[in-house]
Structure 1
């Protein structure tokens, strides 16, 4: 009976670890395409990205000229510049909305060729802040208005959907409240719509406060992977990309052709991205164009953001995977689209791997006695090596980084182990989100509060948007920290160090998540 249980635990652990390894190898494939893209750029062989079944569509985009191989707007007045609607969907952003409006109003683009719509669903003092700032810029001749709805139906997706009725732009630029786009943003993105099959131009997120704390440093480490290796790798490999919800521009015709914004998932951006590309449109990613933004600085805000992303990813996978597999994409594209849509599910397998590794530790003696070799686990090191390579390239080698190689390498080596530990510590929280997403459980769109934190001297303490709620997952995170600490002690006691480092990282990860959650909650 003991061997039956032992083999069952081993099977659960191995299947979960195999899933994680396959995902990591898929990421390595994107790294291969990212490096291929860099080689093509270096050799002057860069190709325009494409997607299957890209259709020819009419376009009223501006006349363009090539300057050093990069499309730019001709310096001509009037109709040479296409009309753009800039949408700012917000909800209770008292601390950051003023700076966003200031940044967008300063766009270096003809004033009569763009309009700004502040899609304001706020229920607090933000409404008055927006009203005053809009009035200020309207007095200066800026085409800006505050758009309010009677009911916040559909949350962000609903605001974007409803605002399409009053938008006059041929192109729709979108920014969340925590962004600070540069003045030349439109001139850096609109020219790429000269290609009639490009439906979206997405820019890279930059981080104005990444050095504020350990939490922000680790977030930047992860986001840098998506906005270098993943996006460029998918574009170069001709896989499906995604619009990231902000810091990008849509062709209006693309939104309409793909069926418009839908509020049945928490990641309306990923949902519409997939639907648009299945219609034949392309997403063009500009790695070299950065859009600065503020990272969440406290644990509860980070967890609410992670929950929305993970649950929304699962909801979109549940919704779109059947359509992807019934489409005329190639098999390789379908596989990569599946990996992309199932990215959030990786946390469920990380959680299962961690929990099952503890009983496995104590069953290893019985398994070894009947011929099982611990060397079997060495095969899965390919996954760890793959993910190390991906994060190394994204955070050290990517050309968008401004630090010296030595400084970037030191930062990566010191942060990456902590990143792995805290990522594993978020596994329970994110697994709950994924399960809810796959079950189809509905929940509101919970915004991620931002506090205008730019430097070390800024503080979020006593800010109005801090949460005081203590959830059952936080209590379980504390219990899991003790669970894996006991596993470390137990492994040393029975003189089996097979999982010692793994369990130590899990104990530290869950412990850190538990500690920061309580600490930041107490500051509310």
Structure 2
């Protein structure tokens, strides 16, 4: 494979967010408008009717998401297990050149396991290049990478200076400028893919309409803490049900940022990863769709990663996800609705996807209405709040339950669903805080997830389903 560095002409500056993105002053005015509208409505119509109308509107929103969750759960229950157990892939001579990129910042605890897994990927050695970026680490990450590279010719290590900027996007763009390949595959430093994951991802690029492909991520340290178990089940829901459903029903899965491949020509045409976002995966998903290409999801391309093990790390990770996802809604919702490449139904589903990190904010309002009603504030009868309360939980619970069933999780692990009560409450607070910070224009830059270096086996899932 050619390893000639790309020229400046090959890699343009990352595509800027759409010009319609509102400035912080404009977003603050929107918040003021919310408060003024609420105050005026209360003054004009009274507390009871206004709260009743708000509850009714929330019921409609939650009903839409309930049926969406339910549709995903049904599709996963019907087809996902068969796809998980699908026969191995025969590329039949289709072996495009592939560059695997990984950004590492202070990943001393996990980087060696990641390198071992990448070097075990089943793919012709002359068609595969591994590029790992030491993004200004101040621990032993750089030394570990250099030691492995000294004895492994397939491994190339780049060292960025401290505070080089751009976070993960900056590290990946720097690596991108040094390689020439047909397909780029991205992993995070704590990821350990199965040997056949690369072949399963690459096969989809036979279709010229495919710009990116996402594989399935599985939590490997689910027994390390209560929080890790909660995240383990959350990933079952997200990858075995939610993304599977989006692929099965709409062919609109998201590029997930790790264990994901993207066509080089597509990536270069889009200018690489966007430096102005903290969720480069969602941003790239939308830019690929707006360019007229598609993202595919392969549930059988399995990769293991480490879950956060404490509430503080959960907060840091999910706050970043919420800030980035909500910004993508502001950046891309209007261009997406105007796109000639999406049908009406695809635009609706994409809008629901983009609003995913706003729904917990609305859930918090729903919980507040229920509490107010308990204190006789609002004339909404308690029976009218039942749909709100049920739809608030039943849709996500259906996805979680199907994820446990399809993943063949041990029965005793079903008790882990109880862990979603505090996690759900924490998510409401995280997304609400992220929304207010974003609307107020408070600055935020990319923050890496702290690792624990766990080597625990996948738990509590039966290996027969997780592996072929």
Query: Which residue pairs with 1:385 in the alignment?
Result: 394
Task: Report the 3-state secondary structure (helix = DSSP H, G, I; strand = E; otherwise coil) of the residue aligned with 1:119.
Answer: strand
Higher RCO (CA-CA < 8 Å; seq separation 6+): 2
CA contact 2:194–2:301 (8 Å) conserved in 1: no
SS across alignment from 2:321: helix
Give the C-alpha shift of residue 317 in structure 1. Answer: 0.7
Look up the match of 2:99.
85
Q: What pairs with 1:443-482 in structure 2 (closer than 5 Å)?
A: 443-455=444-456
2:149 corresponds in structure 1 to: 135
Q: Is 2:365 the partner of 1:352?
A: yes
Alignment-derived partner of residue 443 in structure 2:
442
CA contact (8 A) 2:326 2:354 kept: yes
Distance 2:205 2:294 in 1: 10
Please give the secondary structure, in 2, of the residue aligned with 1:210.
Answer: coil
Residue 113 of structure 1, CA deviation: 1.7
Highest CA radius of gyration, 1 or 2? 1
- Distance of 1:112 and 1:238 partners within structure 2: 37
Check conservation: 2:76, 2:402, Cα contact below 8 A. Answer: no
Distance 1:237 1:332 in 2: 11
The CA deviation at 1:429 is 2.3
Instruction: Provide the TM-score with structure 2 as the length reference.
Output: 0.80
C-alpha contact 1:26 1:339 (8 A) present in aligned 2: no
Distance 1:259 1:32 in 2: 38
Matched residue SS, 1:173 = strand
1:8-36: per-residue Cα shift (whole Å, max 9, x none)? 44444444454333323222233344456
| 1:207 is aligned to 2:219 | yes
Kindly provide the CA deviation profile for residues 300-353 of structure 1, in whole angstroms up to 9, marking residues without a partner as x: 111100000011110111101011111122221111101100100112112222
Matches within 5 A, 1:342-421: 342-363=355-376, 367=379, 373-380=381-388, 381-382=390-391, 384-396=393-405, 398=406, 401-403=407-409, 407-408=410-411, 410-412=412-414, 414-421=415-422
Structure 1 unmatched runs, 5+ = 43-67, 457-524
- Tell me the CA shift for residue 274 of structure 1: 1.2
Measured at CA, do residues 125 and 382 of structure 1 come closer, stay the same or move farther in structure 2, by a change above 3 Å?
A: closer
CA distance in 2, matches of 1:356, 1:377: 9
> Against the structure 1 CA distance between its residues 131 and 31, is the aligned structure 2 distance closer, same or farther, given a 3 Å change threshold?
closer
Query: CA separation in 1, counterparts of 2:266 and 2:87?
Result: 26
CA distance in 1, matches of 2:354, 2:441: 15
Tell me the C-alpha RMSD between the 2 structures.
Answer: 2.7
Q: Which residue of 1 aligns with 2:6?
A: none
- Take 1:331 and 1:35, find their aligned partners in 2: how far apart are those partners? 27
Deviation, 1:440, is 4.5
| Structure 2: runs of 5 or more not aligned | 1-41, 458-468
CA separation in 1, counterparts of 2:293 and 2:142? Answer: 39
Partner of 2:61: 19
CA drift of 1:415 comes to 2.3
- The worse-fitting range, judged by mean Cα deviation, of 304-313 and 425-434 is 425-434
> 1:295 Cα deviation (Å)?
0.5
- Structure 2 Cα separation of the partners of residues 5 and 122 of structure 1: 55
